[in-house]
Structures are given as C-alpha cells and as structure tokens.
C-alpha cells in the first residue's frame, strides 16, 4: 500500500491599529463579552447528517448538567452502557445547551472511556438567553459505543460571579440509528461506479468511502481526571502522550488528533512575531508569530504533523459577528487525521510504543488528546491526496475617542475559509473525490469598555458547499445585527442512492 498525502496551508493576517493603543490591544486578547436584547438560537452551518431525517431506533438521554462555577472541578462523569435490545449501526451525539446570563465562550469536551468524541465551544450568551444544538456523527466510535460499564465525561470550566452570570445547561443525548446496508450501483451519470451508501453516510463526517467504523479505538489521553482527559501543553518543548500496545491484527491505523487553544495562544493565528514585539518595545506576551503546527511522534521519532484550523471562539474579534451564526468549527471543532498505517511495520511487535505530541511555537496553553482508530480489515487504498486551505484575513482599526473613560472603538473586517479537497483511489482504477468550501465574511464595529461591548453592529455572510460521492449540499446564509436576513439551502443525494 502506498499512501501519499499532501497538505497545503495558507493563513494571511493583516492587523492594523490606527492611533492605536497597540500595547493594550495586543496585551488584552481580542476577546469581549456583550449584552443582548432577545433570546437567541445560535447555529453553526454544517451539512446535515444523512440519517438526520430518520427516526432513531433508540434514544439515550445520557447526561443533564448545569455548569455553573465549575472552574477547577473535574469533569462530570456518568456510567454508560448501550441501550438494550436495540439494533443500530449509526450513532449521533447531540449536545444541547442553553444559558441566561452574561458569559464568555467556554470550551467543553465529551469523552467516552477517555476517547475525545466532541470538542466544542459554547456560544457567547447574554442575559436575554440563548440556546443551541450540536449534532455530531460518532459512528466512527461504534466499537466504544457498544461497550458496557464505561463512563462518559463532560468537562466545561466556567466562572460564575457578580459580573459573569451565565451558567450553562447541557443535555447530552445519544441517538442510535439502523440503516440497511445496501450495495447500490450509481446511475450511468455517475459512471456506474459502485458506491455503498452506508459508506457515504459514514463519510459525511470523516475521511472517505473506504473507512468503516473502527474495530477498536485506543484513546491517547491523560490520566489526570481532575484536570480532564486532555493533555495540557504549555510550551514548545513539552512532549505529552502515552504508551500503548497496538494489536497485532491491525490492518490500518489512523491517529485522530483533537485540539483547542487557550490563554496566550487563543488567537495564535494573529500573534505577532517576537521581533515585532521587541522592535516596538511592547510588553505583550502573545508572540511567537501566527503559525502553529501539531507534531506527532512515535517513540520520539517525528512521523507527521498538522496545522490546525484557526477556530475563532464566539467571543473573538467582534462577538457581534457570531450572533446568531457562530464561527466555522466553533461548535464542532475539526479533528485531524494522520494515517499511521505506514509505521505498522514497527508497531506490531506486541510491545508498547510511545505516542507523543508537541505544538511547535506554542504558548500556554493547548488542550490536546487523540484517538487511534484501528481497523482489522479494510480495502486497499492505492492513493490518497488531500489539500487543505485555511485563508484568514482580519483587519482591525482601533481608536480611543477620549483618554479619560477608557472606551475604545473598533472597526473590523474578517474573511475566513475552510477549504478541503480529497482524492483517493482503490487501486482498481476507481477514483473518488470530495470537496468542501466553507467561507465567512464579517464586517462590524463596536465600542468597548473593560472588555464589555457597549454598542455596535455587525453583518456576517456565509457560503457553504460540499460535493461528495453521494450527496451535495450548499447553503448561503447571512445575518445582520443578531438576526438572520437570508438563508437558502439545497441538498441532493444522487437518485440511485437516496433509498433512505
Ligand atoms: C430484550 O429482549 C429479550 C429477548 O427478547 C427479553 O427477554 C428482554 O426482556 C428484553 N430486554 C429489554 C430491556 O427490553
Ligand atoms: C435537543 O435539541 C434538538 C433540536 O432543537 C431537539 O430536537 C431535542 O429534542 C433536544 N433534546 C433535548 C434532550 O433537549
Ligand atoms: C434539558 O432537558 C430538560 C428536561 O427535558 C429541559 O427542561 C431543558 O429545557 C433542556 N435543556 C436544554 C438546554 O436542552
Ligand atoms: C524602544 O526603546 C529603545 C530604548 O528605550 C528606544 O531607543 C527606541 O526608540 C524604542 N523604540 C520604539 C519603536 O519605541
Ligand atoms: C483532485 O483531482 C482533481 C481532478 O483530477 C484535480 O484537479 C485536483 O487538483 C486534485 N486534488 C488533489 C488534492 O489532489
């Protein structure tokens, strides 16, 4: 098996400070809280899960929790067992949340038996209230979801006091679906290629047609339950990870990496170079430039790397942008796959091997963990190529109308895209492709005092298009000042495979 992966990345940042309190803008992360005037339903634009219209064969309400002043507390955990007498082969995790109160955006994770299933940010709520739903296809983790006597844990560190009044209410539900597995020949217009629909159902959330739910998931996560299952990476020099034994009958193994970035690196994609900070005598600690790379080591040899997508959390840049359409990836952070099958030759010796992670140029702190997705059988892949582009332009103009009261006026524009293109073939001259283009354009202004937005206005336009092997989806949506002003979507499954 030969396996070729190509990655291209592009991040462009322009930040202008006019008449600028440069120091303070850079020192204080571009992170604000706001007030609201009506109850809001927040949403992230994504294509629907292909089985979303079906009735689940079983529904398991697994956790209902109120995340108040949870800072420093361990994750909440509940016992998990799959529902009895239920036939299922596809699974969705549904995370519903609501809040009434002023609050920053907070990061949460859901782990099953230590495996990271969902990394999410909250929306930034207001005292008028807000709610949202995140639904993620977790079929990939079926082997874990079939296990008895394991625990499901959720962590969300939040601060509630006189100023930040918003607690988060979360309901977590697991939805089990049964979909007939079918071999459906595609119509002549699709070159008579055979595509198994069930595979495309699965593909929707992840890699490709050849990928089946894994036979085994090996979590690479921390032992420190008090601090969550993720590793906290505080600097460039830290290598965090775990030793594991890969079963000898492994045919294919993929390392799925989950990250979120915090503190001085929350806005790493806009951090200035250290030379700029020195040249301007700034005291900002947010440096190391605007490029980060997550490195995977096996037994301390570098085997792969990914550049994370710069997810802008919903309090970032101008929080009015993300009302009600949140930023790309905010509710369902992308995870990153590195195929480690080429290294199985060294790994299948029955001994334990150290899987370690570093974040190049990182500042405190990153929350990182991973899952090894192991298949014991599979089809031969002769070639995979992949291109990812994450262009990002942020322009910010800041000024102080008067020295005394500390109010700042900020005008900003933002263009952000997540573009991914994959081609693969199975060695029998069948080739496949999928293409995602997801872009946002935002414009707005605000007046800010003590990091609280006093006034402002913003518009957000988003264009999403996905072309896969068995379906296409596109959506154009726009919001102005907290209200949706335009929303059109088209979804088509190719006729011969739309038997659902
Ligand atoms: C599951 O099915 C078996 C056999 O049909 C039955 O004995 C059992 O009571 C069922 N369990 C539940 C929880 O429905
Ligand atoms: C979660 O939200 C979805 C969509 O609004 C809704 O259909 C579902 O009933 C909610 N589940 C719970 C447990 O609140
Ligand atoms: C969670 O479920 C409870 C009980 O069904 C419901 O009252 C509450 O509104 C739900 N909250 C969210 C955020 O879905
Ligand atoms: C930085 O500080 C040095 C020494 O105080 C001074 O000579 C230089 O002009 C300052 N540079 C800027 C851009 O303010
Ligand atoms: C995928 O295939 C198309 C058509 O052959 C080609 O234009 C494109 O560059 C390929 N993309 C990648 C990432 O290999």
**Is 271 part of any domain?**
no
Q: Is the CB of 283 under 6 A from ligand 4?
A: no
Q: Tokens 């913003």 belong to which residue?
A: 458
Contacts with 362 (C-beta within 8 Å, 6 or more apart), sequence order: 233, 234, 235, 236, 265, 268, 288, 292
Cis peptide before 365 (omega within 30 of 0): yes
| Residues 234 and 338 sit within 8 Å (Cβ to Cβ) | no
Q: Which atom of ligand 4 is nearest to the CA of 279?
A: 13
pLDDT number for residue 384: 82
5, 8, 385, 432: which to mutate for ligand 5, most atoms within 8 A of CB? 385
pLDDT of residue 209: 39
CA 283 to ligand 4 centroid distance, Å = 12
Atom 9, ligand 1: which residue's CA is nearest? 85
Distance from Cα 385 to the centre of ligand 5, integer Å: 8
Q: Does some domain include residue 435?
A: yes
Residue whose CA is at the smallest distance from ligand 1 atom 3:
85
Strands 150-156 and 194-196: unpaired
Could you tell me the sign of the dihedral formed by the alpha carbons of 275, 280, 281, 284, in that order? negative
Q: Which of 210, 212, 253, 221 has its CA nearest to residue 346?
A: 253
pLDDT at residue 56, as a whole number: 97
Ligand 4 centre to CA of 280 (Å) is 7
The alpha carbon dihedral of 11, 335, 333, 266 has a sign of: negative
Does residue 200 form part of some domain? no
Check residue 334 and give its pLDDT: 96
CA distance 57 to 47: 22
Cα-Cα-Cα-Cα dihedral sign, residues 285, 286, 291, 293: positive
Residue bearing the CA closest to ligand 1, atom 13? 84
| Nearest listed ligand to the Cα of residue 172 | 2
Q: Which residue has the tokens 């030759």?
A: 345
For ligand 4, atom 10, which residue shows the shortest CA distance?
281
Q: How far is the CA of 171 from the centre of ligand 3 (A)?
A: 6
**Measured in angstroms, how far is the CA atom of residue 279 from the centroid of ligand 4?**
7
Q: How far apart are CA 206 and CA 201, in angstroms?
A: 10
Task: State the sign of the Cα–Cα–Cα–Cα dihedral 227, 231, 235, 237.
Answer: positive
How many angstroms separate the alpha carbon of residue 24 from the centre of ligand 2?
Answer: 42
Query: Of the ligands numbered here, which is closest to the C-alpha atom of 133?
Result: 2
Q: Is the CB of residue 280 below 6 angstroms from any atom belonging to ligand 4?
A: yes
Q: What is the pLDDT of residues 48-106, one digit of tens each?
A: 888 888 999 999 999 999 999 999 999 999 999 999 999 999 999 999 999 999 889 99
* Residue 384 contacts residue 392 (beta carbons within 8 Å): no
Residue 187 lies in a domain: no
* pLDDT tens-digit readout, 219-233: 999 867 688 999 999
Nearest ligand (C-alpha, residue 173)? 2
State the SS3 of the chain.
Answer: CCCCCCCCCCCCCCCCCCCCCHHHHHHCCCECECCCCCCEECECCCCCCCCCCCCCCEEEEEEEEEECCCCCCCCEEEEECCCCCCCCCEEEEEEEEEECCCCCCCEEEEEECCEEEEEEECCCCCCCCEEEEEEEECHHHHHHHCCCCEEEEEEECCCCCCCCCCCEEEEEEEEEECCCCCEEECCHHHCCCEEEHHHHHHHCCCCCCCCCCCCEEEEECCCCHHHCCCEEECCCCCCEEEEEECCCCCCEEEEEEEEEECHHHCCHHHCCCHHHHHHCCCCCCCCCCCCCEEEEEECCEEEEEECCCCCCCCCECCHHHHCCECCCCCCCCCCEEEECHHHHHHHCCCCEEEEEEEEECCCCCEEEEEEEEEECCCCCCCEEEEEEECCEEEEEEEECCCCCCCCEEEEEEEEEEEEEEEEEECCCCCEEEEEEEEEEEEEEEEEEECCEEEEEEEEEEEEEEEECCCEEEEEEEEEECCEEEEEEEEEEECHHHCCC
Pocket mutation for ligand 1, best pick of 85, 86, 87, 148 (most atoms within 8 Å of C-beta): 85
Residue 486 domain-assigned (yes or no)? yes
Residue with CA closest to ligand 4 atom 13: 280
Q: Is residue 223 part of a domain?
A: no
Ligand 5 mean position to 435 CA, how many Å?
10
Number of structural domains found in the chain: 1
Q: pLDDT under 70 in the chain at which residues?
A: 1-29, 181-212, 223, 225, 379, 429, 494-500
Q: Under 8 Å CB-to-CB from 122, ≥6 apart: which residues? A: 97, 99, 103, 105, 106, 107, 108, 156, 168, 314
H/E/C letters for each residue in 287-311?
A: CCCCCCEEEEEECCEEEEEECCCCC
91 in a domain, yes or no? no
Residues contacting 333, CB < 8 A, separation 6+ = 119, 120, 121, 258, 259, 260, 309, 311
In the reported structure, the alpha carbon of residue 43 is separated from the centroid of ligand 2 by a whole-number distance in angstroms of: 14
473 within domain boundaries: yes
Q: Tell me, what's the pLDDT at 29?
A: 52
- Domain holding 491, by residue range, is 383-499
pTM of the predicted model as reported, rounded to 2 decimal places: 0.89
């Amino acid at each position: 098996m030969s396996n070729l992966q190509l990655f291209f990345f592009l991040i462009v940042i322009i930040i202008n400070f006019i008449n600028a309190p440069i120091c303070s803008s850079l020192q204080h992360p571009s992170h604000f809280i706001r007030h609201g005037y009506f109850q809001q339903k927040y949403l992230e634009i994504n294509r629907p899960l292909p089985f979303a219209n079906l009735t689940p064969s079983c529904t398991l309400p697994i956790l209902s929790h109120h995340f108040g002043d949870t800072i420093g507390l361990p994750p909440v955990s509940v016992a998990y067992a799959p529902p009895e007498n239920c036939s299922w082969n596809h699974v969705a995790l549904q995370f519903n949340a609501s809040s009434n109160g002023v609050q920053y955006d907070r990061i949460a994770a859901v782990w099953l038996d230590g495996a990271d299933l969902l990394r999410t940010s909250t929306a930034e709520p207001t005292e008028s209230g807000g709610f949202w739903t995140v639904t993620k296809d977790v079929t990939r983790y079926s082997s874990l979801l079939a296990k008895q006597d394991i625990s499901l844990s959720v962590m969300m560190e939040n601060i509630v006091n006189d100023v930040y009044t918003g607690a988060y209410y979360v309901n977590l539900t697991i939805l089990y679906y049964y979909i007939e597995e079918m071999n459906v020949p595609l119509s002549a217009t699709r070159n008579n290629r055979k595509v198994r629909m069930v595979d495309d159902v699965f593909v929707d959330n992840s890699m490709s047609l050849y990928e089946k739910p894994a036979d085994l998931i090996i979590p690479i996560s921390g032992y420190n339950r008090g601090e969550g299952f993720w590793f906290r990476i505080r600097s460039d020099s830290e290598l965090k990870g775990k030793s594991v034994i890969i079963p000898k009958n492994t045919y294919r193994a993929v390392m799925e990496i989950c990250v979120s970035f915090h503190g001085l690196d929350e806005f790493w994609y806009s951090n200035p170079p250290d030379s700029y900070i020195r040249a301007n005598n700034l005291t900002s600690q947010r440096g190391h430039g605007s490029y980060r790379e997550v490195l995977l080591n096996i037994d301390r040899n570098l085997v792969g790397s990914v550049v994370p997508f710069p997810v802008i959390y919903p309090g970032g840049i101008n929080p009015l942008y993300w009302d009600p359409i949140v930023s790309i990836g905010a509710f369902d952070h992308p995870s990153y796959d590195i195929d480690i099958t080429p290294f199985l030759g060294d790994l299948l010796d029955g001994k334990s091997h150290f899987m370690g992670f570093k974040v190049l140029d990182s500042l405190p702190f990153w929350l990182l963990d991973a899952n090894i997705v192991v298949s014991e059988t599979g089809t031969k892949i002769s070639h995979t190529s992949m291109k990812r582009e994450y262009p990002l332009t942020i322009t910010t103009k800041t000024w102080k109308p008067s020295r005394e009261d500390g109010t700042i006026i900020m005008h900003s524009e933002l263009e952000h895209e997540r573009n991914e293109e994959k081609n693969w073939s199975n060695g029998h001259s069948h080739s496949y492709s999928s293409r995602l283009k997801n872009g946002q354009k935002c414009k707005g202004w605000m007046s800010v005092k003590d990091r609280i937005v006093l006034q402002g206005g913003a518009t957000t336009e988003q264009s999403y298009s996905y072309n896969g092997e068995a379906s296409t989806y596109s959506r154009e949506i726009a919001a102005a000042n907290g209200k949706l002003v335009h929303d059109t979507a088209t979804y088509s499954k190719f006729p011969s495979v739309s038997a659902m």
